[in-house]
Amino acid sequence: MNTLRQQMLFLLVACFSTFFSIYLASNWNFFLEGFSPDRLAKTLMSCVFNYSLILVFAALFRRQYTALVLSQIFVGLIEFINFKKEKYLSTNFSPDDILLFSEAFKAAPLALKIAFFAFIAIFFAVLIFCFKKEKTTLLKTYLLQITLSVLIFCSAIYLNYIKSPIGACSKPDYPSICLNMSGFPNTRSDWMGDFRKIQNFGFTTFFMSKILDSLTEAFLPHETVSRETIQQIFKPLETSAVTSPTTSSTTEQPNIVVVMDESMWNPRLLDKKLPKNLTPFTSQNRVSALLSPSFGGGTANVEFEALTSLNTIFFRNELVYVAKIRKPIYSLPLYLNSLGYDTIAMHNNWRYYYNRNRVYQQMGFNKFVSLENMMNSANHSTIFNQAGWANDDVIFDSIKTELNLASDQPKFIYAITVENHPMYADDRYGTQSYKLNPNLSESAQQKMATYTAGVARADQHIRDLTEFVKTLDRPTIVIAFGDHLPNLQNVYDEYHYFENDPNREELNAYETPLLLWSNYPVQHKILAQPYIATSFLAPKILHLANLPLPPYYQFIERVSRCYDVIHQKFIHEKASCQFDKAQLLDQYKALNNDTVNGQNFTYQLLKPQTVN
């Protein structure tokens, strides 16, 4: 077979393998969605990735049919492993899992072990058979295969780097090549998470892209954080947890319900014509403002700061959930587990968005109640609004159901809503009659009316939740806040809201309402300040609940005593500080880098010994 015909055969098999892999991942949706230009670009890029895999096998074994057969056996093996892992653990297979082979193999059922060894046996049987029956490829063809392999490999590393969150394509003056890279499968910055990435590209391409991510990560410079550095952070702090100041007369551990409300904000800051009593419960129970790290999106980064007290300033342009969290980390649910809490994450969206199904396991949540768990045959047809987002009724019903379950354990529930998610050019809540600035364009009026109706619904949902909590015997704290300002696009421009701050470098671009309500007396003054940075919220929650602060949160509280906020747009120091501010900031940076990029000594040193 001449060289051209051989390469055409490789491409044909690669494309067939790609179609089959994408079909397995997306099932009938693959045909339903059709071939948009973006989908076509992704499919063609997947063909190239699969073609390069065949070239690698051809370069290794110097036999064309051997390369074709063995490469597809390899593809079948990783597809099979991914299918089984998703079935048993609700998370996908990634290259990092290879390092955990011995642990996974011990835990695997006998049938799965037999299937794995069957794949390996077939692989080597085919290898031996093909080596005996097939002649080696001609030298010139072999050299071409190696050249193509190296060229594609080097190009893929380069493209993966420039499309990474810190690469050239994330810069304002990005190169023109970035405009033609919609089909390139960089997996570090896609908010939809790994599951949707697999649907778009097929598992083989996804797996290879993850390998490229690891290579890119290895090539990037990193600050090394030693175990001694982390030990020095916590050494001055007491080894035993510090008791919070008494906040109530009860000694029973309270339930803690945190609701991170999608795009919850005050639209009257844009238009004073809106009703003053638009959000009565919010107005009555607002104690402060949450200072979000994001504007108009990036929900999971806000969540990351709230649950870990780490800071996205050290991971600019990255979606930390998607790009970084691949191992257990110290977090609020992890610590609350050690105090006897049942920790539950809830989100009325699909479990794979932002990789939450994997990330929540690493954070120590006992349970994740996602949209898949909230749906049933009775409400399937009405659960989604006109914009395609699930209504918030289902998540608040789930919160009430969870709180109502008989249990001796207190509960920590972290719930993220979604129904008021942008964009707002629809009538998801029906036709609205709000009086708005008559000078607004039709599109701006539509978005403003839809968003405003969503805010009013969010206020009512929280009020209804607190009415339910009144019926509970266990003391319960409800904290609610917006994750970020809404993405209203041209609406801000037409109101000239950021006219004097076009780069959004002022506090008001990041402040959302922070509400506090409880069915027993607590000290509201703990949260009563102009604003609270998301990364500094957790110690205050522990104080509210009269729970002890471990060394980790003692350190976070120490940082918050010297800095009002550490933010990507600004760092505000406090006038009074008992500690060395510069040293504290360096230690805080080291803590972040160790946890997310380093050896994770923080978790190793501080992880509770009684985690559920």
Q: Examine residue 556 and state whether it is found in any structural domain, yes or no.
A: no
Q: Which of 64-68, 122-126, 315-319, 423-427 is the least confident region?
A: 315-319
Q: What are the structure tokens assigned to 124, written together?
A: 């080597």
pLDDT for residue 198 is more than 80: no
Number of structural domains in the chain: 2
Region 256-268 average pLDDT: 97
Same domain (yes/no): 382, 457: yes
Residue 90: band (very low, low, confident or very high) from pLDDT cuts 50, 70, 90: low
> Is the bond leading into 423 cis (omega within 30 degrees of zero)?
yes
Q: Are residues 304 and 361 in the same domain?
A: yes
- Which range is least confidently modeled, 134-148, 240-254, 535-549? 240-254
Which of these, 582, 610, 603, lies nearest to 234 by C-alpha position? 603
Same domain, 184 and 83: yes
Q: Is the pLDDT of residue 411 over 60?
A: yes
- Do 212 and 284 lie in one domain? The reply is no
Other CB atoms closer than 10 Å to residue 2's CB: what's the count?
Answer: 9
Question: In the chain, what percentage of residues exceed pLDDT 90?
Answer: 47
355: left (phi over 0), alpha (psi -120 to 50) or beta: left
Domain-terminating residue out of 491, 518, 545: 518
Q: Is residue 338 part of a domain?
A: yes
Q: What is the pLDDT of residue 136?
A: 79
Would residue 585 count as lying in a domain?
Answer: no
What amino acid is encoded at 275 in this protein?
P
Mean pLDDT of 483-509: 92
Whether the pLDDT of residue 612 is over 50: the answer is no
pLDDT for 188 equals 59
Q: Residue 165's pLDDT is what? A: 62
Phi, psi of 296 (to 5 degrees): 75, 0
In a domain, 581, yes or no: no
**Assigned token pair, 303:** 């969540």
Return the beta strands (E) in 486-591 as ranges. Answer: 511-518, 532-533, 563-566, 571-573
**Do 373 and 429 lie in a common domain?**
yes
Better pLDDT: 379 or 273: 273
User: Residue 193 — pLDDT band, cuts 50, 70, 90?
Assistant: low
**In contact, 511 and 486? CB cutoff 8 Å:** no
518 forms bridges with which residues in the sheet? 477
Last residue of one domain, picked from the residues 483, 502, 518: 518
The answer on 288 and 191 residing in a single domain is no
Q: How confident is the model at residue 531 (pLDDT cuts 50, 70, 90)?
A: very high
**Cα separation of the two ends of the chain:** 61
Reported as a single tens digit per residue, the pLDDT across 217-261 is 666 666 688 999 999 999 887 655 565 555 444 578 999 999 999
Residue indicated by tokens 């609701």: 259
Looking at per-residue confidence, does 133 or 529 come out higher? Answer: 529
Does one domain contain both 473 and 327? Answer: yes
Q: Give a yes or no: residue 427 inside a domain.
A: yes
127 and 78 share one domain: yes
pTM: 0.75
Q: What's the pLDDT band for 611 if we cut at 50, 70, 90?
A: very low
Q: In the chain, helix, strand, coil percent, each to 5? A: 55, 10, 35
Q: What's the rounded Cα separation, in Å, for the pair 588 and 267?
A: 35
Tell which wins on pLDDT, 260 or 47. 260
Domain end call among 479, 502, 518 = 518
Q: What range does the domain containing 445 cover?
A: 251-518
The answer to whether the beta carbons of residues 478 and 466 sit under 8 Å apart is yes
Q: For 210, list phi and psi in degrees, rounded to 5.
A: -65, -35
Same domain? For 460 and 340 the reply is yes
Let me know whether 212 and 267 are in one domain: no
pLDDT at 152: 81
- Distance, in Å, from the CA atom of 91 to the CA atom of 175, rounded to the nearest integer, reads 35
Same domain? For 207 and 316 the reply is no
DSSP conformational letter for 253:
P
* φ and ψ at residue 90, rounded to 5 degrees: 55, 35
Instruction: Mark whether 153 and 260 lie in a shared domain.
Output: no
Q: Which two tokens stand for residue 604?
A: 């190793």
pLDDT at 103 over 60: no
Residue 523, in any domain of the structure:
no
Give domain status of residue 138, yes or no. Answer: yes
In a domain, 42, yes or no: yes
In the predicted structure, residue 146 carries a pLDDT above the cut 60: yes
Burial level of 207, CB count in 10 A (0-12/13-18/19+)? Answer: buried
DSSP for 381-396 reads: TTSB-TTSPBPTHHHH
Cα distance between residue 151 and residue 153, in whole Å = 5
Q: Which residue has the tokens 């050019």?
A: 425
pLDDT above 80: residue 24: no
Look up the CATH number of the domain holding residue 394: 3.40.720.10
pLDDT per residue over 158-189, tens digit each?
A: 777 777 666 677 677 777 777 777 677 766 55
